[in-house]
Amino acid sequence: MGAAAQPAGPKPGCQTNAWRVQPGNFGDFLKALDRVHHYGYEGFETGFRNIENRLDHARETRSEFDKRGLLFLGCHIFLTQYDPASSIAPADLIARIIKTSAALGAQRLILSGAGATGDRAALDRKIKALAAAGRQCRQAGIGLAYHNHDVEFLGENPEIEEMLRRGDPSHLSLVLDAGHALRTKADVADFFHRHDSRIAGIHLRDFRSGDQVPFGQGEIDWSKLAAAIRRRNWTGWVITEEERLNDVKPGDAAVEPARRGMKKIFGV
């Protein structure tokens, strides 16, 4: 008899923001993807500015992804200011990036947003806007995931719980930023256990004495989350994220040890 098949597990992904990529410079972007591939990641996430001008070059762009054997796991719209009417990106920007992301083979659009905690009307508008974006994504053949910061995990009734409760599971999933959630002292393993079916990916960041360090080299104990992932046989993306507040772009110096950390902690 042959050996029993090993259960599927999470897939290792990497953001390209560990490297300094000049927006619109496709050569810079491909160099970052070369490094992602070199370290054995299976997919990548990138900011929308790195692909927004590629719609007219979709076939060439997808060919470059395929050459590197990388899946385009998500295109992320992160802004310093959001539409005050919706607390997420403006609707015209979302529509444009959905079209481009779908043409480039992205699995999903990832949206960040401003917190609406404590403002019921703002939260209602935000959930309505996310529902509209989710329908657009579904029509385009891709998924939609919301990416949290710390504010969505604050308070006795965290905004993130309300968003998931009221959001249509077929239209809205989550890229859980574990780093931000942990900084609010949230129980990330418990949150994952309760919502794993809604979580498409997990952003991994590590800290030592308040400063970000390569994943696996910090003070955070990831063992409970890793155990929860194994128990649920979860097959989403674990994604190394570099978001240094001092705008340092450590590139390979962070991404290579993070890959080792993923293997050690999550077995991927």
13 versus 9: which is more confidently predicted?
Answer: 13
In a domain, 40, yes or no: yes
DSSP 8-state secondary structure symbol assigned to residue 7: P
**Residue 1 above 60 pLDDT?**
no
In a domain, 155, yes or no: yes
pLDDT digits (tens, 9 = 90+) for 74-117: 999 999 999 999 999 999 999 999 999 999 999 999 999 999 87
pLDDT digits (tens, 9 = 90+) for 193-250: 999 999 999 999 999 998 899 999 999 999 999 999 999 999 999 999 987 777 889 9
pTM for this predicted structure:
0.95
Task: Tell me what pLDDT residue 6 has.
Answer: 52
In a domain, 2, yes or no: no
**Residue 24 above 70 pLDDT?**
yes
**Residue 158 above 90 pLDDT?**
yes
Nearest to 101 by CA among 157, 148, 140, 127: 140
Q: Where are the alpha helices (DSSP H) in 104-187?
A: 120-140, 159-166, 178-183
30, amino acid identity: L
Beta bridge partner(s), residue 63: none
**Residue 4 above 80 pLDDT?**
no
Task: Tell me what pLDDT residue 3 has.
Answer: 46
Rounded distance, CA 199 to CA 225, Å?
A: 13
Q: What percent of the chain has pLDDT over 90?
A: 88
User: Across the chain, what does the average pLDDT equal?
Assistant: 94
Task: Give the highest mean pLDDT range of 3-17, 172-186, 244-258.
Answer: 172-186
Task: Tell me what pLDDT residue 51 has.
Answer: 97
pLDDT digits (tens, 9 = 90+) for 140-149: 999 999 999 9
In a domain, 132, yes or no: yes
In a domain, 1, yes or no: no
Task: Tell me what pLDDT residue 58 has.
Answer: 98
Task: Tell me what pLDDT residue 210 has.
Answer: 86
In a domain, 5, yes or no: no
Strands of the chain, DSSP E: 11-15, 43-47, 71-77, 108-111, 143-147, 173-177, 199-204, 206-208, 211-213, 237-240
Mean pLDDT of 10-20: 96
Cβ atoms of 204 and 243 closer than 8 Å:
no
Rounded distance, CA 159 to CA 114, Å?
A: 11
Q: How many domains does the chain have?
A: 1
Query: What is the residue whose two structure tokens read 């910090």?
Result: 218
- Low-confidence winner among 3-7, 202-206, 264-268 (lowest mean pLDDT): 3-7
Q: Show the domain range for 226.
A: 11-266
Q: What is the CATH number of the domain that holds 142?
A: 3.20.20.150
Task: Tell me what pLDDT residue 248 has.
Answer: 86
CA atoms within 13 A on the CB side of 204: 33
In a domain, 177, yes or no: yes
pLDDT digits (tens, 9 = 90+) for 115-128: 987 799 999 999 99
In a domain, 4, yes or no: no
